[in-house]
């Protein structure tokens, strides 16, 4: 006696159809039917209905009903899964409402797209739980028959995590074959076909009538407005790809980027039913009381029909040995050679006592493989998210969805996913995922390191100084305490250290620093590089470079400024002058670059960066200012806070005169507001961004890309203020 379990039996109408199919096979009429659902009220309805069916058919079959999964799976040879984790409310509603708020409109949202991704993330853990329970307490060689969407993602994950004998079942192949016969005015009994691909994106590779190619009939139907109107999206895709796809137009429209997001006119032209699944669910919910009353009405017999579902056929063939051919979703182990191996593919399968034996297909037409891969990208990343618990794969799955990618920018995709994750977790239907760096696709754990750096105290080796003070700084950005040995070196041995070996101990989220001094060898006047050596894989070490700075003495209010030139690759970039007053630092420059722009992306054109720092301060505070010599408005000056961002700086002003050869710039910086007092020396770095050196170099613009962040030894100074007596 075989035990057949229905998990999710509370899907009453579908379960009734499956039970009727099963019990009409003589080899299965004495089976045990185990009905399992977490909804006790729905479970009571289907149990009563199944008992009436058995009585009406006069069979010996047995029935048990339970909310306990272990009990339902114990001794089961076959388990049929028809679950919807989170139900219509709240989960399906959430899957529609939050994307709609961001501008993503969906039709069914149960197979691909953002709705399919989150349905998979909810479903996979529960389906895997069922599969593992079958392996633990089921009959020998149990078989899992899954009807739960998203079919392809669910089956891919089940195979990877359990390896159980399983098949995903859908009625789209056999259903579409009857539709195509109707479109062409042919008897379905005379139709034969060969279909392959992935669930809901499989294609009729052959469509024959009485042994001859019947695709000419389909292309004839394509030009019939009445027939075309019945299935507009699928016919349009057949026109472009040459093959008819298995799932409906409302499904197909959200698997590709050609329809929904192109506006209301296109939506009307192709009759795309936005929010169709919501409409269906609302209709079924509104009718449920009447349906339940009708199903339980004992004054009339239960309707016992025969559906087109493959579930009962598979069970019968394995139990009886009578062979059958079905279309199933199974792992792609060499079945379709030009799409991802291991993915779940939909192909014809022979079923007998040996189980489910899929058919080798070979290579699909390349255009079909290409469009299938746009869906497989989403499926694979979703499965990775479910299996690994890595949150970044959720964002990346939705990022690769053909429909969502046409609607949202990357930052909105990330924000939408965050909101969906939080909503489903709040409803208790989605597990935890490993944290990521906010608004990125990088796992937080990959960046949780102890950052080691060397921080100078003041300006190292400024002027004639031969000794400098430093601190070894350890910032623990991980969630665990760190203890380890660290060494500081100067690669060419030009420094001797007061201490080189450090025992670094730093708590999670904390920072520590260790002071040391270094003495410079006589004659070592070139640039120095301090390095940190650590054998730990938990640390990141950054070299610290200390360039040679030219010491200049600029008298206050001097009659002549300090003059210098900046050159690059043999070309003079700027002819400059620096002067000081009691209140201001003044930079004047003739810059030979005609690429001044009116935009703030200064790296792409002309700009000047001026970095200022108190040379005696032990604090790392630097005032980085950017001057943009706009052609069409007052030059802008801002304090740089990131790669290109910053706030306008009110402690400086500039004038600019443009010519055919470049521009002349004069910048006046308030010393107090820039952090360089009247009585102390200060560091001054000046960088000229150039992108084209006049018309003579216009044709070699790209050769100047490296000069955008132009720095030479001539523009690095320690300015000694004579008032300080330095």
Token pair for 297: 């009405």
Alpha-helical runs (H) found in 486-633: none
CA–CA gap between residue 264 and residue 276 (Å, rounded) = 16
Q: What is the full DSSP assignment across 450-463?
A: EEEEEEESSSTT-T
CB 292 within 8 A of CB 321: no
User: How many helical (H) and strand (E) elements, i.e. helices and strands, does the chain have?
Assistant: 18, 33
CA–CA gap between residue 369 and residue 201 (Å, rounded) = 10
Token pair for 594: 């005609």
Q: Is 316 a catalytic residue?
A: no
Largest CA distance in the chain: 116
CB atoms near residue 558 (< 10 Å):
13
Strand partners, 358: 349
Pairing mode, strands 344-352 and 324-331:
antiparallel
On the question of a cis peptide bond just before residue 150, with omega within 30 degrees of 0, the verdict is yes
CA–CA gap between residue 199 and residue 350 (Å, rounded) = 18
Q: How many residues does the chain have?
A: 726
Residue with tokens 């959720």: 394
Question: Residue 476 in 3-state DSSP?
Answer: strand
Residue with tokens 């309707």: 303
Where residue 277 falls (left for φ over 0; alpha for ψ -120 to 50; beta otherwise) is alpha
Q: In Å, what is the CA distance from 158 to each residue of 161, 211, 332? A: 5, 38, 13
CB 45 within 8 A of CB 292: yes
> 479: exposed, middle or buried (C-beta count within 10 Å: 0-12, 13-18, 19+)?
exposed
Q: What is the full DSSP assignment across 3-69?
A: EEEEETTT-HHHHHHHHHHHHTSGGGTTPEEEEE-S-HHHHHHHHHHHHHHHHHHT---EEEEES-H
Q: Which residues of 559-570 are buried (b: 16+ CB within 10 A; e: fewer)?
A: eeebebebebee
- Please report, to the nearest 10 degrees, the dihedral formed by the alpha carbons of residues 175, 178, 182, 185 taken in order: 160
CA–CA gap between residue 346 and residue 146 (Å, rounded) = 13
Question: Running DSSP on this structure, what letter comes out for residue 724?
Answer: G
Rg (CA), the chain: 36
Where residue 212 falls (left for φ over 0; alpha for ψ -120 to 50; beta otherwise) is beta
Angle at 484 between CA 482 and CA 490, to 5 degrees: 125
Nearest C-alpha neighbor of 185 from the set 226, 132, 157, 145 = 226
CA–CA gap between residue 584 and residue 589 (Å, rounded) = 16
Where residue 725 falls (left for φ over 0; alpha for ψ -120 to 50; beta otherwise) is left
Nearest C-alpha neighbor of 587 from the set 614, 626, 642 = 626
For CA atoms 673, 679, 685, 686, the dihedral sign is: positive
Catalytic residues: 171
């Amino acid at each position: 006696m075989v035990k057949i379990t229905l998990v999710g039996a509370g899907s009453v109408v579908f379960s009734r159809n499956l039970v009727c199919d099963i019990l009409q096979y003589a080899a299965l009429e004495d089976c045990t039917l185990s009905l399992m659902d977490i909804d006790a009220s729905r479970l009571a309805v289907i149990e009563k209905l199944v008992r009436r069916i058995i009585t009406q058919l006069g069979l010996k079959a047995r029935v048990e009903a339970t909310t306990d999964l272990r009990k339902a799976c114990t001794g089961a040879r076959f388990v049929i899964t028809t679950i919807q984790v989170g139900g219509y409310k709240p989960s399906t509603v959430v899957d529609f409402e939050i994307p709609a708020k961001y501008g993503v409109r969906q039709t069914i949202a149960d197979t691909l797209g953002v709705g399919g991704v989150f349905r998979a993330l909810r479903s996979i853990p529960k389906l895997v739980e069922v599969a593992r329970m079958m392996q633990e307490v089921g009959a020998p060689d149990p078989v899992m028959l899954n009807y739960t969407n998203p079919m392809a993602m669910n089956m891919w994950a089940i195979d990877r995590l359990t390896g159980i004998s399983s098949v995903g079942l859908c009625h789209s192949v056999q259903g579409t074959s009857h539709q195509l016969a109707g479109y062409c005015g042919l008897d379905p009994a005379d139709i034969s076909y060969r279909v392959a691909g992935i669930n809901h994106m499989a294609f009729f590779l052959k469509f024959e009538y009485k042994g001859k190619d019947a695709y000419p009939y389909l292309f004839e139907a394509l030009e019939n407005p009445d027939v075309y109107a019945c299935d507009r999206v699928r016919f349009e895709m057949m026109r472009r790809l040459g093959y008819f796809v298995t799932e409906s137009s409302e499904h197909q429209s959200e698997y590709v980027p050609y329809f929904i997001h192109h506006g209301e006119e296109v939506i009307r032209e192709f009759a795309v039913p936005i929010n169709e699944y919501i409409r269906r669910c609302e209709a079924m919910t509104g009718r449920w009381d009447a349906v339940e009353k009708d199903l339980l009405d004992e004054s009339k017999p239960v309707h016992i029909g025969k559906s087109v579902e493959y579930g009962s056929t598979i069970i019968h063939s394995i139990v009886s040995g009578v062979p059958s051919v079905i279309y199933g979703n199974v792992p792609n182990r060499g079945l379709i050679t030009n799409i991802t191996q291991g993915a779940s593919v939909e192909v014809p399968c022979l079923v007998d006592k040996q189980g489910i034996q899929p058919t080798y297909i070979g290579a699909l037409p390349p255009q079909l493989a290409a469009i299938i891969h746009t869906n497989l990208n989403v499926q694979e990343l979703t499965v990775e998210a479910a299996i690994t618990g890595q949150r970044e794969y959720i964002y990346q799955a939705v990022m690769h969805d053909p429909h969502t990618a046409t609607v949202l920018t990357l930052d909105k995709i990330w924000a939408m996913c965050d909101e969906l994750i939080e909503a489903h977790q709040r409803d208790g239907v989605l597990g935890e995922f490993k944290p990521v760096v906010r608004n990125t696709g990088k796992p937080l754990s990959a960046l949780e390191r102890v950052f080691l750096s060397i921080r100078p105290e003041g300006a190292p080796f400024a002027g004639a100084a031969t000794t400098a003070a430093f601190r070894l700084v350890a910032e623990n950005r991980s969630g665990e305490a760190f203890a380890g040995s660290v060494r500081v070196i100067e690669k060419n041995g030009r420094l001797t250290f007061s201490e080189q070996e450090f025992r670094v101990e730093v708590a999670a989220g904390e920072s520590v620093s260790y002071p040391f001094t270094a003495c410079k060898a006589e004659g070592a006047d070139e640039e120095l590089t301090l390095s940190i050596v650590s054998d730990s894989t938990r640390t990141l070490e950054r070299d610290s470079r200390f360039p040679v700075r030219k010491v200049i003495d600029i008298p206050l209010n001097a009659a002549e400024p300090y003059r210098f030139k900046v050159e690059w690759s043999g070309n003079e970039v700027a002819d400059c002058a620096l002067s000081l007053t009691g209140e201001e630092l003044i930079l004047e420059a003739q810059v030979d670059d005609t690429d001044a722009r009116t935009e703030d992306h200064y790296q792409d054109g002309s700009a000047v960066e001026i970095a200022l720092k108190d040379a005696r301060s032990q604090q790392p505070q630097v005032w980085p200012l950017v001057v943009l010599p706009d052609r069409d408005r007052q030059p802008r000056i801002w304090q740089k806070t990131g790669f290109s961002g910053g706030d306008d700086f009110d402690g400086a002003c500039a004038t600019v005169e443009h010519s055919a050869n470049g521009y002349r710039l004069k910048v006046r910086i308030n010393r107090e507001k820039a952090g360089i007092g009247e009585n102390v020396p200060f560091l001054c770095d000046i960088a000229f961004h150039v992108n084209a050196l006049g018309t003579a170099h216009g044709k070699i613009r790209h050769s100047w890309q490296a000069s955008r962040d132009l720095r030479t030894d001539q523009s690095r100074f320690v300015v000694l203020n004579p008032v300080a007596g330095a």
